[in-house]
Every structure is written in structure tokens, then in C-alpha cells.
Chains A and B, each alone.
Chain A
Amino acid sequence: MLEEVIVSSRPDRVIRKKLKNPGDYTIVPYEDSRCKIKITNLACTNHLGKCEIEPESKVFSTNFDGNVLIGDSDFFIDKDFELILQQMCSGETCEVNMVYRDGSGELVKEISCDVELKEVTEEQLISDWSWERLMEASIHHKEKGVELVKEKRILDAFRRFSKALKMVVAIEPIDPEIIDEEKAVAITDLKVKLYNNLAHCQLQYNEYEAALDLCNRAIKYDPENVKALYRRSLAYTGLEMYVEAWADIQRVLQITPAEKAAVQQSRHLKPIIDRINEDYSSVVKKMFS
């Protein structure tokens, strides 16, 4: 009688849940809620039969302590699992099914289990958070992202930076009655750092247009920002806009002449820019000869 519901569906993965035992409909987890859960009857299969769940997953690891903080997972399977918790009530037990496919539609992994949401702390909705709390949350997610970059988990880092940016943007529009100039500067600084970090992640995947967009936003706030100018130079290079790339990297070298990566980028661009200039002067010559 109880039907299966789709929690989230994309071509590459579908998450379903089926109610087994209803809970208290007045208590549900929101962002930042602490949940105590119990997972039973866990199974993971693919077309060959039983298989391992990824070792990075915390929720499905053997030493999982049963605590989940909503909005604070890193690994994609754990984040997907959070989506299920966010559609459960306190005390509820449900049957969960998560199916992952690869780019060609082949089944990679099917995870199923029963989940009991034993306890939920009731949290303020993000709409009621003070700007200080939003700022604090943003910094938290940014720091987690920086750690992930060090571990070379670029995608997971990207999602942290993305969340951090959401949190700091959520402070908008800045009310000068509540947030004085000094604090407003701190907010802008944080935003610029996040644009830069997001741009770094986008560049790792050769997403030059996205990186350009992010660097532009950073430079709009801070025209002398060396990281933003350097990354924009890389983005322009990727987009074959060499004149712009050259201008940015020369600006970087004016500000920090010894910066190794910038010197290297400049060296890389030099022959290209020389050729462009040559072509240009020959065109001019032809025009005026």
C-alpha cells in the first residue's frame, strides 16, 4: 500500500525511498540539523553481484558512528544520502535504494538499505540565520574546501566552495545599519577568495568560460588581485584570447615580479604574442605602403 517515492532523479542516478514506519511529521531535518541514524540490511551490487561501496563514503563505512550533520558531507554518495534524510521525519524508518550509472547508461552500483532516522535536532531555517551565522558557515565550508584541494579532491572542493559562496551571497543585500563598512569589506574579501578558488577548480577541468566569469567577478571587487589576474590569464589563454591573456599576466608581473607561475605563463605567451604583433605590423605595413 505504501508507495515508493523518487527522492531525486537524474539520468545518471536515481534515489528512491519507501516508507516502512512513519515518524513524527512535525520534525524534519533542515540545513545544519544533527541527525542520529541507523542503517541496516545494507547491500551493494552491480551486474556481477555483490560489490564494495566506495571507501571514501563515511555513511557506509564500517566505523560510521551514526551521526550526520545535514549539509556537511563531502563524498557524492554521502551527499546523495543526505537528500534522503532531508525527506524523512524524525523517528521514520524507510527502505532506501540508490542506483548509479556511468556515461553510457551502464549500471555501476546499486545500494540498498533500511534507514531509521532516530533523532533530529530542530534547526532554524537558513532564512532566519543572522548574517554572522551565514558568514561563519561560509568560512567553514571554504576551509573544508581548501583541505579537499590539498587532497586533490577537486570536485568535492568545488562543491564546498559553491556552498560557501551561496552562504555569503545569502547575506545580500547588505544593510549598512547592521553591517558596518569594515565588516562589509570582510564579506567582499571572502567572496573574492571564493571566486578565485572556484576558478581554480574550473581551470582543472578546462572550463575556461566559467573560470573567466568567476575571475571577472573577483577583479570587479579587487582589480589588483594577483590570483584572479593570473587565473584569468590562464582562462583567456584557454579561450585563445592571447592579447587579453598577455595583458593580465603583465599586470601580475608588475605587482609580483618574482612569482614563478606568472613568469612561466608569461614565457609561454611570449612567442604567441610576438607572432601576433608581427602579423599586425605586417598588416599595417601593407596598409600604408
Chain B
Amino acid sequence: MSDEDDSDVEAKYFKEISDEIQTLKKNPETSGMFVSGWDDADQDVDLVKDPKANPIDHVLWAAEHNKLDTLRELLVAKPGLVHSRDSDGYTPLHRAAYSNHLDAISLLLSFGAKVSSKSELGWTPLHSACNWNNYHIVARLLAAGADPAAPSEGVQTPLHLASHLSHCKSTLLLLLLREDLVEVARKPNNSGETPEQLARGHGIYAPLFEMVSPASSYVSSLAFTCNRYLQTNK
């Protein structure tokens, strides 16, 4: 094979990747993968000009960049800002979740941020955290009552998003340790893929799904294994 051939192959390969990226960007379910550094940089520039001109953008920016003092000041002055949203419906909690800022998450929760708030595409902050394997955030959001089975517009649950990552073990363990995800692990999204199938296709962590195998998770003749009052009624 000559060098020329190689570069041709390479060029073709790059074209494929770039086409793939374009398709993923257009697909609302996967476009979240491209919350790019460029966008952030643009926002910074805008905000540095006059961040206080728009408190909504300011609070979103502070959450995304872990500016805790700013965040606290803004929220003390105007507690309602905790429910701010950007044009995609992301709240400060979403921003802090995908940026992996645990302190900002705790602060926002203490100001009453809602873990169940959904973006335009139906993503909760837990979706955002799972999509990036930000497992400390995942644990904190679950402790605040976030629903690991909440479906997005594309019927993706946070478990689906964690499962499609190649480096997802930390998040998967937190989710699969729970007792309420046996069904969700087998629930298809809009593309007909279950979290277990996604994990099999995207990495080496599919064996972890044995943690939620039905036979080892519940006794099915007792609809809910733990409530004794159901047993005595049978």
C-alpha cells in the first residue's frame, strides 16, 4: 500500500467521523454530547462584558463554573433564580450536574432547586450527570430524590445514558445497587435499546447488569418482595 492510499483511507475515515458527528448533533438525544468548550467560551465572553445585566444568565453561568460566592449572592438576593432556565430548558442544577461541581449542586439544593426539572428534551439533572459519568453528582442527586427511571423525550432514562458510555462503571454501580431498577434495566428507549443492550454494545461493563437480574432481585409471586402484608393476603 502506498502512502497516498493511506492518506486516502484516512481522509475517508475522517469524513465518516465528521458525518457521524453531524448526525449526532442533529439527533436531539445525542446532541448533548457536544456541549462544547467553544460554546462555553462564547458565553464567558458575553457574560464578562456585563454579567450582571442578566441575572438568569449569570446564575446559570455561576452554576456551570462553580462560582460558589457569586451563586450564593445571586440566590440570597433573589431565591427564584434557582429555577432559571436557558434556551434549552437547562436549569442551574443541570449546568452544575454536567460540569461535575458537587459543591454547586449542594448549594443549589439548599436553595430549593428541583431535581425533577426537565429540559426541552426531557432531561433531568440526573440525566446530565449520568451522561458524563459524574458519579459524585449522581449519588448526591439520588440522595435528593432524583428518579433514575425518569424518561426523556426519547424514552432514555438516566440508566440508559450511563449504559451507553464506555467508562460508566462508577455511575452504573450506584444505580444498579438500588432495588428499584430491575424493570428499567430491561426497558427499551425510542430506538428499541435497553440499558443492558447499550452496555453490551459500548464497553466491558455489561456483566454488571447481573446485579439487577430478576431471579436474584425479587420473588415474583409476591409482587413486592418486602411487604409482608401482601404475603398474608395471598
Q: Does A207 contact B (CB under 8 A)?
A: yes
Q: How far apart are A102's CB and chain B's nearest CB, in angstroms?
A: 4
The chain B residue with its CB closest to the CB of A76 is B226
Q: Which residue of the partner chain B has the closest CB to A173?
A: B204
Contacts of B225 in A (CB 8 A): 155, 158-159
Please tell me if the beta carbons of B208 and A172 are within 8 angstroms of each other in the complex: yes
Q: A100 is contacted by which of B136, B145, B180, B229 (Cβ under 8 Å)?
A: B229
Kindly state whether residue B201 has any CB partner on chain A within 8 Å: no
Please, how many angstroms separate the alpha-carbon atoms of A161 and B211 in the complex? Answer: 11
Chain B binder among A6-14, A58-66, A241-249, A265-273: A6-14
- Name which residue of chain B comes closest to A10, CB basis: B224
SS class, residues of chain B in contact with chain A: helix
- Cβ-defined partner of A165 (8 Å) among B211, B224, B233: B211
8 Å CB interface, A158-176 against B = 158-159, 161-162, 165-166, 169-170, 172-173
- Point out the residue from A104, A127, A194, A201 that lies within 8 Å of B173, measured CB to CB: A127
Which residues in A have their C-beta under 8 angstroms from that of B227? 10, 12-13, 76, 100
When A198-B215, A205-B221 are in contact, do A25 and B233 touch as well, CB less than 8 Å? no
Central interface residue in B107, B213, B226, B234, by most chain A CB within 10 Å = B226
Shortest CB-to-CB span from B111 to chain A, Å, is 9
- Once A12-B224, A103-B234, A170-B173 are accepted as A-B contacts, the answer to whether A125 and B219 lie under 8 Å apart by CB is no
B140, A28: Cβ atoms under 8 Å? yes
Q: Is B2 an interface residue (CB 8 A)?
A: no
Cβ of B169 under 8 Å from chain A? yes
- Provide the residues of chain A in CB contact with B150, threshold 8 Å: none
Q: Is B109 in the interface zone, CB < 8 Å from A?
A: yes
Question: Given A103-B234, A205-B222, do A109 and B229 touch, yes or no (CB 8 Å)?
Answer: yes
Complex Cα gap A25–B82 (Å): 15
A125 & B143 in contact (Cβ 8 Å cutoff):
no
Within 8 A of B (CB), among A177-209: 194-195, 198, 201-202, 205-207, 209
Measured as residues with beta carbon below 8 angstroms from the partner, the interface class of chain B is 35 or more
Q: Shortest Cβ distance from A17 into chain B, in angstroms? A: 9
B170 located at the interface, meaning its Cβ lies under 8 Å from any Cβ of chain A in the complex: yes
List which B31-49 residues lie within 8 A (CB) of chain A: none
What per-residue 1/0 map shows which CB atoms of A120-157 lie under 8 Å from chain B? 00000111100000000000000000000000000100
With A127-B171, A201-B219, A213-B215 in contact, is A103–B143 under 8 Å at CB? no
**In the complex, what's the smallest C-beta–C-beta distance from B130 to chain A, in angstroms?**
13
| Complex Cα–Cα for A169 and B139 (A) | 20
Contact of A25 among B106, B205, B224 (CB under 8 A): B106
Which B residues touch A170, using CB under 8 A?
Answer: 173, 176-177, 208, 211
Query: Is A87 among interface residues, defined by CB-CB distance under 8 A?
Result: yes
**Interface check A35, CB cutoff 8 A:** no
Does any Cβ of A come within 8 Å of B17's Cβ? no
CB <8 Å contact, B110 and A173: no
* Residues of B contacting A54 in the complex (Cβ-Cβ under 8 angstroms): 228
Quick check: B215 and A30 within 8 Å, CB to CB?
no
Whether B232 is near chain A, meaning CB under 8 Å from some CB there, is yes
In the bound complex, what is the Cα–Cα distance between A31 and B169 (angstroms)?
17
Asked if A250 lies at the interface with its beta carbon under 8 angstroms from chain B, I say no
| Min C-beta distance of A101 to chain B, whole Å | 7
Partner of B215, one of A86, A101, A210: A210
**B174 is contacted by which of A12, A28, A79, A125 (Cβ under 8 Å)?**
A125
Q: Does the CB pair A169–B210 fall under 8 Å?
A: yes
- Evaluate contact between B222 and A210: CB separation under 8 angstroms: no
In this assembly, does B193 line the interface, its C-beta being within 8 Å of a C-beta of chain A? no
Using A125-B135, A169-B207, A172-B208 as known contacts, say yes or no to A207 and B219 having CB atoms under 8 A apart. yes
Which residues 36-93 of A have a CB within 8 angstroms of B? 54, 76, 79-80, 86-87
Please, which residues of chain A bring their CB within 8 A of the CB of B208?
Answer: 169-170, 172
Which of B106, B136, B177 interacts with A166 by CB under 8 Å? B177
Residue A26 lies at the interface, judged by CB distance under 8 Å to chain B: yes
Residues in A with CB closer than 8 Å to B213 are 213
* Contact residue among B174, B215, B233 (Cβ-Cβ distance under 8 Å from A103): B233
- Asked whether any CB of chain B lies closer than 8 Å to the CB of A5, the reply is yes
Task: List residues of chain A with CB under 8 Å of any chain B CB.
Answer: 5, 7-8, 10-13, 22, 25-26, 28-31, 54, 76, 79-80, 86-87, 100-104, 108-109, 125-128, 155, 158-159, 161-162, 165-166, 169-170, 172-173, 194-195, 198, 201-202, 205-207, 209-211, 213-214
Known: A8-B180, A25-B110. 16 other contacts (CB 8 A): A12-B229, A30-B143, A54-B228, A76-B228, A87-B145, A100-B227, A109-B229, A126-B177, A127-B135, A155-B222, A155-B225, A155-B228, A159-B225, A172-B208, A201-B219, A210-B219
- Nearest 5 A/B pairs, CB to CB: A127-B170, A103-B233, A76-B226, A210-B215, A25-B110
